[in-house]
Amino acid sequence: METWKIATLAEARGIPCILHSYSVGLGLGFAANLQVAGAISLCDWVEYAHEPPAYSVEVRDSILEEPILARDGEVEILNNPGLGVELAEGFLQKYAVLEE
């Protein structure tokens, strides 16, 4: 919501926004920022982590069922329901807390 508020203020002044997705939930945060970017009229860029080894696609998107891939230097805004991604079941099970 804060991003939306800032973008609205910037848009009113004709200032473009560039969203930053380096550590906010890794691939899940990147998917969320893509959705926000699609709703902001003056947002043509989203900065995201992609430099190995710390931020390879495999690491960044390990929580996702399918990675978010760039094609010809561009990433499409995902159009599936919600954020456009599905969480990887194996990832969730690996970190699940079991109640006794």
The CATH number assigned to the domain holding 81 equals 3.20.20.120
Q: Which residues of the chain have pLDDT under 70?
A: 22-25, 53-54
The answer to whether residue 62 sits within a structural domain is: yes
Task: Provide the number of structural domains found in the chain.
Answer: 1
pLDDT score, position 5: 92
The whole-model pTM stands at 0.79
pLDDT score, position 84: 94
The answer to whether residue 13 sits within a structural domain is: yes
The answer to whether residue 67 sits within a structural domain is: yes
Please give the sequence-ordered ranges of beta strands (E in DSSP) within 1-100, or none if there are none: 18-21, 45-48
The answer to whether residue 100 sits within a structural domain is: no
**In terms of residue numbers, what domain contains 18?**
2-94
pLDDT score, position 54: 65
The answer to whether residue 56 sits within a structural domain is: yes
pLDDT score, position 4: 86
Please give the sequence-ordered ranges of beta strands (E in DSSP) within 49-87, or none if there are none: none
